Each structure stands twice: as structure tokens, then as C-alpha cells.
Amino acid sequence: MTMAETIRLALRLLEAGGKVWPKAGLSTLAFLFLAASTAAQEGDPEKGAKLFKACKSCHEIGAEARNGVGPHLDGLFGRQAGILDGFKYSSAMKKQGEEGLVWNEFTLDQYLKKPRAYVPGTRMSYRGMSRDAERTHIIAYLKTLSSEAPAENPTAAKPHRPEMGAAAMDLTGDPDYGEYLSSECVTCHQITGRADGIPSIVGWPKEPFIRALFEYKTNVRSHQVMQNMTINLGNEEIAALAAYFGSLDPQ
Amino acid sequence: MPRISRRTFGGLMGAGAASLALPYYARAQGKPRAVVIGGGAGGATAARYMAKDAGEDLNVTLIEANPKYTTCFFSNLYLGGYRDFESITHGYDKLASNYGITVVNGRAEAVDRDAREVTLADGSKVPYDRLIVAPGIDLIYDSVPGYSEEASEIMPHAWKAGPQTQLLKAKLDAIENGQQIVMVAPPNPYRCPPGPYERVSMMAHVLKQKGFNDSKIVIIDPKPKFSKQALFQEGWDKHYPGMIEWYGPDVHGGIASVDPQTGEVETDLDTFKGALVNVIPAQKAGGIAAQAGLANDSGFCAIDPKSMRSQADDNIFVIGDASIAGDMPKSGFSANSQAKVAAMAIRGDLLGSKVFPAKYSNTCWSLIETNDGVKVGAQYAPSAEKIASTSSFISQTGEDDAVRQATYEESVGWYKGITTDIFGA
Ligand SMILES: Cc1cc2nc3c(=O)[nH]c(=O)nc-3n(C[C@H](O)[C@H](O)[C@H](O)COP(=O)(O)OP(=O)(O)OC[C@H]3O[C@@H](n4cnc5c(N)ncnc54)[C@H](O)[C@@H]3O)c2cc1C
């Protein structure tokens, strides 16, 4: 594609989309420019797979993927932001989707660079991937699996493996007790579900929530404040907290 | 499906059903009244939790002397140029509009414990069934000979945030290379144990940024040691070598007096002269606590560690800096934590709602230099005689830069979290 063709195509795209989301329109334009002017750097899916390890505790991708702390990533390319049924998105993410944010190479690249700057109010606690090449690799990896089919009901709770915290996972937590205990958490973790330097813990599924607390308690995940906070929590308390935070919707 | 909060539940039941569920006491006299004096970290949190959790069943009134609240927490970051003044100042509008709290802008002058009534400066009276007293601290100016409220216009304390903090910043920004800053640190107990040393770090950051290598900061401390001392001293050596000198009592021998006219601090050892002198005097519970007869000889208020209830009066709770909270430091985090326990106890008293066992926590973050944050924290539970620490942690010396940066970023998240928890969303 020559530069002139690129511009013509970009302008047509801009005109065509009756309701063109400004970010998507401009970003498509910018992306096409980028593609035309510099021979776009090829991402390496294998390197991307390694980098994806950092995302795995929250996001599943591939056959039978399910929603966890974050939405599953099957069918991501071309998907409107904030649209999966049953996943508790921040209202900021849903709004951006309604206004036209669609995931593609360019929008993902921008989002992954600095999530909180691209979608202010996102629940995703990830700080961002600053290296351009790394983002290209991860996007290449996501692409290779994007056409896989997710689980039939991606939000249904998974049968959990026998693991740490299993006893708490088997309990039915009392959300009222959880609400009382939560007052210690919300001094730092905002009840609105926003993540501004401290992760959002609102609307998590039970299993990863309980696992995370046990990992802090036993110092598998080392964090001084969280270890101190969890050290005196028993199974009933952990289950209650999971029930309460899981029942909340992010704003 | 969104959960039905207790509040909407109360609303759905309608007045008839709701009043049947109330204890006789409330039915006889209309809705029970909870009143809070002081809309700071402790008081505003307590008002919000009572209103949020009790909804329509409880009348909550918050009496606050000032129309806006500037947080002492992060006021040192304002001095260092990391935050603007606006970003550490909060209003009470959401507490009124989103939680139905009656916010009274006025000063409480007296508490009549027999009549269960608070008298405001304008003479109006606010009756209560349960009262929370959360006035923070008052400064004991004459604990430093030569110091006074007038002297603080020249030698700011900036230990209550507001115009004093702005004055201190103006004076810091006016320092010229080669001029000296002197801090007179406070004796125990005082609000925010690491606060003076974080402040010195922020002052040093400003001097270093301007390349003022000939300036010095001298700390005259009445205490032989201080909070996070090893961490601060390591940080000062690393970031500001030779700039900060700390003198404990065994070196300076005692603080004889300060002179606002000459900018001098006289000690047994020597006289120190500062172009900027920051005097942080001794502290006691905010005046209204003593007026109400809640404070003991220490100047602070004894409480029941299980509930924050005043040992002097069953209808009154004292939270935050004004209370004697055992092992808990006087901090915004502690005040916020104590507020939740008191709010729950009051709902139990007035509405018969369930009272869970008290738990308390605290973490204090401090910034030493850009992206070099440290923290100290603990969990607490009531023992027979005090609020006792059950576990604790502190940042280590020699930590990686990445850990320190993460700690700083966490503190920024904490600030957003706690101010949302205090003033509402
Ligand atoms: C420089 C500095 C840094 C700090 N940094 C931190 C930190 O990083 N983390 C942390 O957790 N803590 C920090 N603190 C400590 C924290 O600010 C206090 O511990 C906290 O504010 C105590 O809350 P409180 O509710 O008891 O009192 P305050 O927050 O002081 O609130 C008292 C309120 O009561 C009002 N009031 C008083 N008397 C009356 C009356 N008679 N009528 C009506 N209203 C009245 C006052 O106007 C005020 O708004 C810091 C303190 C300082 C000075």
C-alpha cells in the first residue's frame, strides 16, 4: 500500500463509520500510517506466550477458556470492549465499548501500554507494558488463539482442584460478615472497583479470590501489608470476604 | 444481581415495618440520633459508616468547624512538590448528598453529658443519643519555651494541615542556597510518628532539586530515637549525603527556647539558627475532649479497647488522635479503622444490630525521595487493658529500587482509597 492509498483508505473508513468512535477512528488511521511508513515489526507468538504468563492469573485464552478475575480472551480481535455476558466490567470499560472501542492490534497496543491512561476507571490492575516489542509479541500470541471457542458457560464456577484454600472454597461465605470484615480492606482497595495503584478486588469470582488470600497468608505471594492483613483470617472469614466482594458490581 | 443493602432493605420495608423492628427506645423518641464532633479521618469515616449501614433508621449529624478538610497525610508530599494543595483538600458534599448525613458547619463549644446535648459556637444545640468525639489534636504551644500561636506565623508547625502547611511551603520555597532549616521535633505521643522525618526528607528533596548543596537541615529531637529511624537514615545518606543532621537529647542536652525574632533555637549544646524553623510542639486531645471531661492527665482520652467507648461516659465514643489507643499510632489510617469499630458499636447500641468482635489495623507509608517509599504497619485486637498489636511488619533496609517504587505507588493508591472511604464516593 502506498502512503496515498493508506490515507484514502483511512479517510474512507472515517467517513463510512456513521458513528465512528473518535479513538478507534484516529487509531485506525495512525495504525495504517504506521504500517505503511515503517515496515511493521513482526511479533513473535512464542515470545508472546512467555510474556502472557504475567496475564494468566487473571485471563484465560484458548479452547474452553473461562472468565476469571479478568474476561476470557477468545474471539478478542474484533470484539467490542466490555461486552462479554456475565463478566463484571467497570462502567468505564462498558462505556468505551458502547462508544465504539473495538479490540484490534492498535487499540490493544495502546491499552496494554498504559491501561489506566487508555481506559481511565478500568478494573484491570496491570500497570502496563512499556516495551513496544513486548506488546507486539503478546498481541501476536493472542492472535494465534483468538479464534478458539470459549467454554459453553464461561462464567460458571470451575470445579476447583484440591489445593491450598480448598476448605474455604467449600464453605458458603456469609456476605454480611464479609461486609463487616471488608471495612479493613476498603481503606486501600476502593469499593467502587477502581484501581489507582492498588488492585481492584470488586466482583472477583470466589476461587481466585480465596486462592489469592491464601497465597498472601502463606507468603507464596509476598506482600507485607497483605500478609499482615491475612495472617489472622480463618477459613470462614476468607469465605465471607470472597462472598461479599464477589457480590459487588464495579461502578 | 446487585445485593440489597441494609439501607434499601430498610426503605423497602416502609416506616411501619421498620419501626416495629426498632427497640422501644427509638419508637418512643423517634429515630435515634448519632452525632459526631470533628469531620476528619476518624469522624467523617464514622459518620459515613453509620449512615451507610443504618440507612433510614438512624439520624446522623456531623459537626465540623471548617468547610473543607485538608489531609495532613500527603501534606509532606505537597511540600516536596509531588501533590498540589487542591489534591489534598476534600469537601463534605458527598457525605450530605449520597449518605443523608446532616453536615453542620460550626464549632462545638461544649458537651452537656447529663442533657446529652452539644452546644455550638452560635449557641444552637444538637441533642444526641450517642456521641462520637473525634477532634484530633490541639498543640501545646508553650511546651517549647518561647513558642506560641503568634510565633507559629513565623515558625510554622504545619501539624494541622491548612494555611500552616501553605506557609511552611512558601518559606521552604524561599530558602536560598547556604541557608539552614531547623526542625524542632515533637515529644511522644504525637500524631504520625514518621511524619517529621518524612517532612525533612521532602525538604531535602526540594533543596537537592535546586542544587542547594550548601544548605543544611538540622533536627533537634527531644526523643532518643524515632520511627523508621534506620530506614530514614539510610535514605538520607543515600539521597542527601551530608545535608541532614539529627541531634537526639544526649547530644543537644535539652531545648531551652526558640526565638521567632532571630530564628534561633537554643539548646544546652549550642544555638542553631534557621532561615526556616519548623517547630512541632507537644500535643493533646482537641480542646472539646477536655471540656467534656473525657481526657485524663495525659491530655488524651481513655477508651474501652473493645469498642472505643469512653471510659468516662457510656454514651460517648472517642476515636482518632484524641484517644488513648494502646499500641496503635496516631494516624489517619488508625482513626479510620477505629471509626468503623465505634460506628458498629453505636448501631448495636441504638438499633440492636449485630456487633462483631473489634479488629483494628494500620499502615503508614513514608516517602524518602522520588520513588523511594517505605512502610510500617500492624494488626491489633483488644486485650483486657488496651488495644494490643497482634502482628506487624516494616520495610527492610537495603531493599531493591523496584520494591521501593512499588511501595510508593501503593501509597498513592492508599491515599485515593482512604479518602474515598472517609468522604464517600
Ligand atoms: C505531616 C503529617 C503527615 C501525616 N501523614 C500521615 C500518613 O501518611 N498516614 C496516616 O495514616 N496519617 C498521617 N498523619 C496523621 C493523621 O493526619 C492524623 O492522625 C489524623 O488526621 C487523625 O484523625 P482524627 O480524625 O483524629 O483528627 P483530624 O483528622 O485532625 O480531624 C479532626 C477534625 O475535627 C475538627 N474539630 C476539632 N475540634 C472541633 C470542634 N470543637 N468542633 C467542630 N469540629 C472540630 C477539626 O477541624 C478537624 O477537621 C499525618 C499527620 C501529619 C501532621
A39: pLDDT confidence band, cut at 50, 70 and 90? very low
- Say what the pLDDT of residue A77 is: 95
Q: Which CATH class is domain A42-156?
A: mainly alpha
From the list B130, B56, B136, the residue with the least C-alpha distance to B343 is B130
- Say what the pLDDT of residue A159 is: 65
Percent of chain B with pLDDT strictly greater than 90: 93
CB contact at 8 A, B269 and B290: no
Whether the per-residue pLDDT at B131 is higher than 90: the answer is yes
Whether the per-residue pLDDT at B175 is higher than 80: the answer is yes
Query: How would you class A94 by CB atoms within 10 Å of its CB: exposed for 0-12, middle for 13-18, buried for 19 or more?
Result: middle
Whether the per-residue pLDDT at B7 is higher than 60: the answer is no
Whether the per-residue pLDDT at A227 is higher than 50: the answer is yes
DSSP code for A152: S
> Hey, is the C-beta of B253 within 8 angstroms of any chain A C-beta?
no
Q: What angle do CA A211, A213, A219 make, to 5 degrees?
A: 100
Give the ipTM of the model, two decimals please: 0.82
CA-nearest residue for atom 30, ligand 1, is B136
The sign of the CA dihedral B98, B104, B107, B109 is: negative
Alpha helices in B217-312, H assignment, sequence order: 229-239, 249-252, 287-291
For residue A177, the chain B residues in CB contact (below 8 A) are 356
Extract the C-alpha cell encoding B190: 504525637
Whether the per-residue pLDDT at B1 is higher than 60: the answer is no
pLDDT in tens, B232-241: 999 999 999 9
In A116-155, the residues whose Cβ lies within 8 Å of chain B are 127
Contact B340 A224 (CB under 8 A): no
What's the CA-to-centroid distance between A69 and ligand 1, angstroms?
37
One fold for A42-156 and A166-247: yes
Q: Output the average pLDDT for chain B.
A: 93
Of A189, A228, A247, the CB nearest to B393: A228
Over range B135-150, report the average pLDDT.
98
Percent of chain B with pLDDT strictly greater than 70: 93
The sign of the CA dihedral B65, B70, B72, B75 is: negative
Residues 6+ apart with CB under 8 A from B41: B71, B73, B320, B332, B333, B335, B336, B339, B418, B422
Whether the per-residue pLDDT at A211 is higher than 50: the answer is yes
Whether the per-residue pLDDT at A115 is higher than 80: the answer is yes
- Say what the pLDDT of residue A189 is: 96
Percent of chain A with pLDDT strictly greater than 90: 63
A6: pLDDT confidence band, cut at 50, 70 and 90? low
Fold of A166-247: Cytochrome Bc1 Complex; Chain D, domain 2 (1.10.760)
> Hey, is the C-beta of B418 within 8 angstroms of any chain A C-beta?
yes
Q: Note the CATH architecture for domain B156-281.
A: 3-Layer(bba) Sandwich (3.50)
- Say what the pLDDT of residue A156 is: 80
Over range B53-73, report the average pLDDT.
97
pLDDT in tens, A65-79: 999 999 999 999 999
Give the nearest chain B residue to A197 (CA atoms): B413
> Hey, is the C-beta of B392 within 8 angstroms of any chain A C-beta?
yes
The count of other CB atoms within 10 Å of the CB of residue B216 is 20
Contact B391 A180 (CB under 8 A): no
Over range A118-139, report the average pLDDT.
93
Whether the per-residue pLDDT at B13 is higher than 50: the answer is no
B226: pLDDT confidence band, cut at 50, 70 and 90? very high
One fold for B6-136+286-423 and B156-281: yes
If one residue of B72, B83, B363, B414 were mutated to test the ligand 1 pocket, choosing by the most ligand atoms within 8 A of its CB, it would be B72
Kindly report the backbone phi and psi dihedral angles of residue B150, in degrees, each rounded to the nearest multiple of 5, phi listed first.
-65, -40
The count of other CB atoms within 10 Å of the CB of residue A42 is 9
Peptide bond into A250 cis (omega under 30): no
In B35-54, the residues whose Cβ lies within 8 Å of chain A are 49
Percent of chain A with pLDDT strictly greater than 70: 82
Of B130 and A207, the structure prediction assigns the larger pLDDT to: B130
CB contact at 8 A, B319 and B308: yes
Fold of B6-136+286-423: FAD/NAD(P)-binding domain (3.50.50)
CB contact at 8 A, B134 and B294: no
- Say what the pLDDT of residue A33 is: 54
DSSP code for A80: B
Q: Cα–Cα distance between A214 and A200 in angstroms, integer?
A: 17
Return the residue matching grid coordinates 515503517: A38
For residue B359, the chain A residues in CB contact (below 8 A) are 181, 184
Choose from A198, A249, A251 for mutation: most chain B CBs within 10 A.
A198
Of A23 and B318, the structure prediction assigns the larger pLDDT to: B318
Contact A177 B375 (CB under 8 A): no
Reduce the secondary structure of B116-160 to three states and give it as a string: CEEEECCCCEEECCEEEECCCEEEEHHHCCCCCCCHHHCCCCCCC
Q: Cα–Cα distance between A144 and B381 in angstroms, integer?
A: 53
CB contact at 8 A, B111 and B255: no
- Say what the pLDDT of residue B184 is: 98
- Say what the pLDDT of residue B38 is: 98
Contact B379 A232 (CB under 8 A): yes
